[in-house]
Each structure stands twice: as C-alpha cells, then as structure tokens.
C-alpha cells in the first residue's frame, strides 16, 4: 500500500482533474462529505459547486495561500476494492486531521493498480489551518498504523535479525539491537525492548544465555579478517579504514570510548557479511589499529587500491572516487590524485590515465541512465542522447508504474489550470521537455521517468516559450564535443547536469567558437 501527498496548490485543481476523469468514465466519486447544505443535493452537484464551497471555507483563513490538500492511496493490483480503499482513505483523513473538513474521495481503476484520490481543504470551517508539520513523515506513519505495521512488528524483525548472528556476550547482543535504534533493558528474567520511548516487546534472557554458552569462535573467518586488516589498514586512519571496511566488505567497526576520555579502550567488529560479532582484539590489537600513518604509506595504499580497481570495468567515477576518499586521497576529473589536505594546485601524488577517467565517467552516465524506467525504444533514444551513452548499452527492462504517471499528470494538470507559465512548472518539478520523431516527451529527473506528453494531458500549450531539446534535428560535431566536454568537466551531480543538458545541446554556438571547432576537427582528420 502506497500513499503520496501531492504539492499544495492555491486553487482546487484536484477537483477539476478528478471530475474530468469521472466524465471520461475513468473515475468514480465515492464520497463527498462535510459540504453543508450541498449534501442534500449530492446527486446533482457539479465540480463548480464543490470548488465554490471549498473556496469559501479556505477564504476563512487568508494567510493560507495554498489551500488544497490532494493525496493518493494506491494498492497493489486489485487486492483492494473501492469500498476497502474508501474505508482506508477515511481513516487516513481522520488521522491526518482532515476528516471534519469538506473532502472528496474518488476511486480510479484505469491503471494496473486500484487507487483513490482525496481532495480537501487545508483550512477548517472554523478558519484554522490543518497542521502540516512533518506532513509526509506523519503520512507514512499513519499508513503504517492503519495497516497494522506497528513498531512491535519492526522490533521483532530486528530481534530475528540479531539472533541470526554469532555473539559471545550479552553486551554484543545488545550492541546489535542498539545499532538499530532499540534500547535494551532487563527486568524479571527478560529483556525489554524500547523503541520511540515505549516498551514494545520482551524476550527471555535464558534463550540468549543458552546461545552464548554454545558459542564457538569462527576461527576460519577470524583468519580471513586478519588478512584483510593487514592488507588494507596500512596508510589509513581509523576513520578511513572503518569507512573502507564498511563500503568494501560489509564490516562495521564500533570503537568504545569512555565518557570524558579521548582515548578508546577497545572496539568491536560487526561482520555483517558472515553474521558474526567479534572482539576487536581477536583480529588486530587496539594500538595497531590506532597507529598513525605517514605520507608514503598513504600513497602506496592508494597505488595498490587503484591497481585493484582497474579490473572493475563496471565501476563508475563516483564509486572510484568514494573508494579513494576512504584511503584519504582525492581525485578530480582530470585524473589528478592528491592527499586530502593538500592544496588543489599542488603537484598530484598520483595520476590516473585519461582513458580510464573517460571510462569511469561513461559508466557514471550509464548508471544514471539505467535508473530510468525504460518502457520503449523511444525512451532509449532520448536517454542515450541526453546522457551521451550508446543505445546498445540500454534496454527495455522495466515496467512503468501507472501511479507515478497519475501523479505527474495531476501535477501538470494542476499547474496548467492555475495559469502558471509552463517553464515555471517544469523548473519547480524537476522536469524538462524533449522532442523526438515529431512527438514531445516529458523527462522527470526526480522520479527517473520518461512520459509521452500526449499520455499526460490533451492540452497543447505553446512549447515555443520553453526550452525543448529537439533530437529530430540530429547533431553536429561541435554539439557532440560540447556535450562530451561538459560531462567531463562538470563538478556537480549527474542529475543536476542532466537537468541542464537539454538546453546546452540546443543552444547555438557563437560563430568564432564554431569556426574554432571546425578547424580543430579538420586537424584531427
């Protein structure tokens, strides 16, 4: 079961959207509640009547500029009927504070998943604004409560997970649970588990004691860990070494330090890969773990890591950079590697081959492109041009989520109906428009989706007033070079760059830039 709250809006375009769906036979009005005297004529009311009444209520508090509350609850497939979803929606509105406000609940079954839309006012009839603090967080919690996915169930799951580990002491048992945010106390022969300030479950201490009594040290795994620690600790601080172990091996180091003391007195190894909890001294003495490192050791550790990573052809730039940073080294997109703390203009301690840098950046773009739901060959064409990757490296492999399209369509319809400029709507939602094969597509960078414009709305706004990437025009060498250069030099995230690439691809080159590119290309030939 999924619940999503759409962005607050100044008008009640959610009513318009759902009534249009209703007119098309794609939606059913399940309930209209708290509309005063209008309830007497419920069978003959029009959308204008609902909107007028909700607007009158909203106007009782002029400080609330965006007075529409619009949310969607969706189930998997057809597992919930309209009546069942109505019951859940009413309970949800009650817990969220909207049940006494005028509200409408519409049932939709025109996608693969049954779902309901709820439209209400953020202002009560008494002129008070409904509390929307941490609204999305509360929304998820309310849905969990409704579905009886309570905290006790969560804690029981953590307990089952903990009991799957090998541990040799009570302290190690408690540590595993504390890492999940569960406080453990003892009373009358039982462990009491506390979450969010409440005792939600209890478990017999004897069962844990019996497991500890039967514990046998995993000597083979201890030997493996000793080899890993000897190989990777050199040249790294405790923090860097801990980060590398967690990232690369699924091993967590928990350093124990007395309150008010600066020097640790011990450490514990949580080996999540083999589900074992070990005393740190079983693998490496504390003073050896805390030993300082010199510059040459750091450089050598980086050199060995680079050699090891060179075999991973699917590694992307961010992954490569993260693993280097775990050793205290920093890399830029020129392939220059420096020790953390060195000035940017200083001489690099190591250099990465330019071809390898290009390969890492290509994998970065490819991984980003593969996060998108690719539902057709047209999607592949768009994404390959946008992220500058080969079409053959992408495939139609994911089924699109109808609810996501429903949300995007509703947001788009609401924005257009409110009279906002299309470019403003696109910018605020993290969207862009592209054209291919004579058709327009909306690219959603936040949800990683590509939609045909015609599937979202029948409205045809003036697209000349917005930035549109026209892939039908093809590309010249200069444009391709600019695109590749941008990917290689940009310092922000891939997602941020992608959002600006559509404009970059279609912006015109200055005449002198164009001529310089042509001469450069001729020399290459």
Task: Let me know if residue 483 belongs to a domain.
Answer: no
| Average pLDDT of the segment spanning 248-277 | 93
Residues 255, 326, single domain; the answer is no
Task: Let me know if residue 8 belongs to a domain.
Answer: yes
* Among the ranges given (113-122, 167-176, 346-355, 471-480), the one the predictor scored with the smallest mean pLDDT: 471-480
Residues 179, 198, single domain; the answer is yes
| Average pLDDT of the segment spanning 218-242 | 91
Return the pLDDT at 486: 55
Residues 82, 97, single domain; the answer is yes
Return the pLDDT at 272: 96
Residues 258, 282, single domain; the answer is yes
The pLDDT confidence band at residue 515, using thresholds 50, 70 and 90, is very low
Residues 380, 452, single domain; the answer is yes
Task: Let me know if residue 129 belongs to a domain.
Answer: yes
Residues 209, 242, single domain; the answer is no
Cα–Cα distance measured from residue 159 to residue 154, given in angstroms and rounded to the nearest whole number: 9
The pLDDT confidence band at residue 119, using thresholds 50, 70 and 90, is very high
Of residues 426 and 485, which shows the higher confidence score? 426
| pLDDT above 90 (res 73) | yes
Among candidate residues 167, 189, 214, the one where a domain is terminated: 214
Q: Which residue has the tokens 């399940």?
A: 30
Q: Tell me the pLDDT tens digit for each residue of 146-178.
A: 775 557 878 998 999 999 999 999 999 999 999
Residues 32, 130, single domain; the answer is yes
Task: Let me know if residue 256 belongs to a domain.
Answer: yes
Residues 139, 40, single domain; the answer is yes
Of residues 410 and 515, which shows the higher confidence score? 410
177: containing domain: 151-214
| Domains of the chain: total | 5
| Average pLDDT of the segment spanning 412-433 | 87
| pLDDT above 50 (res 191) | yes
Cα–Cα distance measured from residue 103 to residue 33, given in angstroms and rounded to the nearest whole number: 6
Return the pLDDT at 173: 97
Residues 224, 351, single domain; the answer is no
pTM for the full predicted model: 0.53
Contact 304, 327 (CB under 8 A): no
How confident is the prediction for the chain on average, in pLDDT?
85
Q: pLDDT > 90: what percent of the chain?
A: 45
* Among the ranges given (180-184, 191-195, 324-328), the one the predictor scored with the smallest mean pLDDT: 324-328
Q: pLDDT > 70: what percent of the chain?
A: 87
Give the DSSP letter string of 444-511.
ETTTTEEEEHHHH-S----GGGS-EEEGGG---HHHHHHHHHHHHH--S-HHHHHHHHHHHHHSPPPH
Residues 168, 303, single domain; the answer is no
| Average pLDDT of the segment spanning 471-495 | 52
Task: Let me know if residue 516 belongs to a domain.
Answer: no
Closest CA to 229 of 277, 283, 267, 278: 283
Residues 231, 270, single domain; the answer is yes
Among candidate residues 309, 343, 366, the one where a domain is terminated: 366
Task: Let me know if residue 115 belongs to a domain.
Answer: yes
The pLDDT confidence band at residue 501, using thresholds 50, 70 and 90, is very low
Of residues 189 and 301, which shows the higher confidence score? 189
Among candidate residues 268, 290, 312, the one where a domain is terminated: 290
Please state whether 152 falls in left (phi above 0), alpha (psi between -120 and 50) or beta.
Answer: alpha
Q: What's the CATH code of the domain at 58?
A: 3.30.930
Task: Let me know if residue 11 belongs to a domain.
Answer: yes
Residues 261, 274, single domain; the answer is yes
| Average pLDDT of the segment spanning 375-386 | 84
Residue 112: both structure tokens together: 């693969």
Task: Let me know if residue 16 belongs to a domain.
Answer: yes
Return the pLDDT at 404: 78
| Average pLDDT of the segment spanning 258-277 | 93
């Amino acid at each position: 079961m999924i619940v999503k709250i759409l962005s607050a809006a100044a008008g009640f375009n959610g009513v318009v959207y759902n009534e249009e769906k209703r007119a098309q036979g794609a939606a059913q009005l399940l309930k209209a509640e708290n509309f005063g005297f209008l309830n007497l004529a419920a069978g003959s009311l029009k959308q204008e009547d609902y909107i007028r009444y909700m607007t009158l209520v909203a106007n009782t508090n002029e400080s609330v500029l965006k007075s529409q509350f619009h949310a969607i609850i969706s189930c998997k497939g057809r597992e919930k009927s309209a009546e069942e979803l109505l019951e859940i929606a009413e309970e949800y509105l009650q817990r969220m504070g909207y049940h006494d406000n005028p509200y409408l609940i519409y049932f939709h079954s025109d996608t693969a998943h049954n779902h309901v839309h709820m439209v209400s006012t953020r202002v009560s009839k008494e002129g008070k604004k409904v509390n929307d603090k941490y609204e999305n967080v509360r929304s998820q919690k309310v849905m969990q409560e409704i579905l009886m996915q309570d905290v006790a169930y969560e804690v029981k799951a953590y307990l089952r997970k903990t009991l799957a580990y090998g541990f040799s002491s009570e302290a190690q048992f408690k540590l595993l649970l504390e890492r999940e945010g569960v406080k453990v106390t003892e009373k009358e022969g039982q462990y009491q588990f506390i979450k969010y300030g409440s005792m939600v479950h209890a478990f017999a201490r004897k069962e844990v004691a019996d497991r500890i009594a039967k514990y046998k040290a995993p000597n083979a795994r201890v030997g493996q860990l000793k080899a890993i620690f000897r190989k990777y600790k050199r040249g790294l601080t405790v923090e860097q070494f801990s980060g590398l172990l967690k990232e690369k091996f699924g091993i967590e180091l928990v350093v124990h330090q007395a309150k008010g003391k600066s020097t640790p007195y011990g450490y514990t190894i949580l080996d999540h890969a083999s589900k074992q909890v070990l005393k740190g001294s079983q693998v490496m003495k504390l003073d050896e773990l805390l030993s300082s490192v010199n510059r040459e050791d750091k450089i050598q550790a980086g050199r060995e890591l680079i050699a090891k990573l060179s075999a991973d052809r699917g590694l992307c730039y961010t992954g490569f950079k993260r693993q280097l940073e775990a050793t205290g080294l920093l890399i830029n997109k020129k392939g220059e590697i420096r020790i953390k703390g060195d000035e940017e203009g200083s001489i690099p301690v190591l250099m990465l081959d330019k071809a390898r840098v290009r390969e890492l950046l290509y994998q970065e773009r490819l991984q980003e492109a593969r996060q998108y739901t690719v539902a057709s060959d047209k999607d592949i064409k768009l994404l390959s041009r946008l992220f500058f990757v080969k079409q053959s490296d992408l495939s139609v492999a994911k089924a699109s989520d109808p609810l996501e399209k429903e949300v995007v369509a509703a947001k788009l319809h609401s924005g257009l109906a409110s009279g906002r400029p299309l470019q403003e709507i696109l910018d605020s939602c993290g969207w862009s428009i592209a054209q291919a094969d004579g058709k327009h597509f909306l690219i959603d960078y936040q949800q990683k989706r590509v939609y045909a414009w015609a599937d979202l709305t029948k409205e045809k706004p003036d697209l000349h007033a917005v930035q549109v990437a026209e892939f039908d025009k093809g590309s010249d060498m200069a444009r391709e070079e600019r695109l590749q250069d941008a990917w290689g030099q940009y310092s922000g995230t891939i997602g941020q760059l992608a959002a600006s690439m559509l404009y970059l691809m279609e912006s015109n080159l200055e005449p002198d830039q164009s001529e310089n590119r042509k001469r450069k290309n001729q020399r290459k030939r």
